[in-house]
Structure 1
Amino acid sequence: MAAGEVVSRKPLGKKFGVTDFINPKTCGEKSVSEVIKELTDGGADYCFECIGLASLMQEAFLSSRKGWGKTVILGVEMHGSQLSLNPYEFLRGRSVIGTLFGGIKPKSDIPLLAKKYLDNELSLDEFISHELSFQEINKAFELHQEGKSLRCIIWMDC
Structure 2
Amino acid sequence: MTEVGADYENKVIREMTEVGADYSFECIGLASLMEEAFNSTRPGSGKTVILGMEQKAMPISLGSYDLLRGRTICGTLFGGLKPKLDIPILVDRYLKKELNLDGLITHELSFEEINKAFDLLAEGNSIRCVVWMDK
2: CA distance, partners of 1:155 / 1:36: 43
Structure 1 residues 35 and 121: CA distance shift in structure 2, 3 A = farther
Equivalent position of 1:97 in the other structure: 74
1: CA distance, partners of 2:20 / 2:108: 40
Question: Residue 96 of structure 1 aligns to a residue in which SS?
Answer: strand
Residue-pair matches, total: 118
TM-score (norm 1): 0.53
**Alpha-carbon offset, residue 72 of structure 1:** 2.3
| 1:72 counterpart = 2:49 | yes
Q: Where does the alignment leave 5 or more consecutive residues of structure 1 unmatched?
A: 1-28, 144-148
Q: Which amino acid aligns with 1:47?
A: S
1: CA distance, partners of 2:11 / 2:130: 43
RMSD: 3.8
| 1:156 counterpart = 2:135 | no
Deviation digits for residues 56-90 of structure 1, max 9, x if unmatched? 11121012111111212233211232212233322
Q: Point out the structure with the larger helix share.
A: 2
Counting aligned pairs with the same residue, the percent is 46
TM-score (norm 2): 0.60
Q: Where does the alignment leave 5 or more consecutive residues of structure 2 unmatched?
A: 1-6
Q: Which has the higher contact order (CA 8 A, sep 6+)?
A: 1
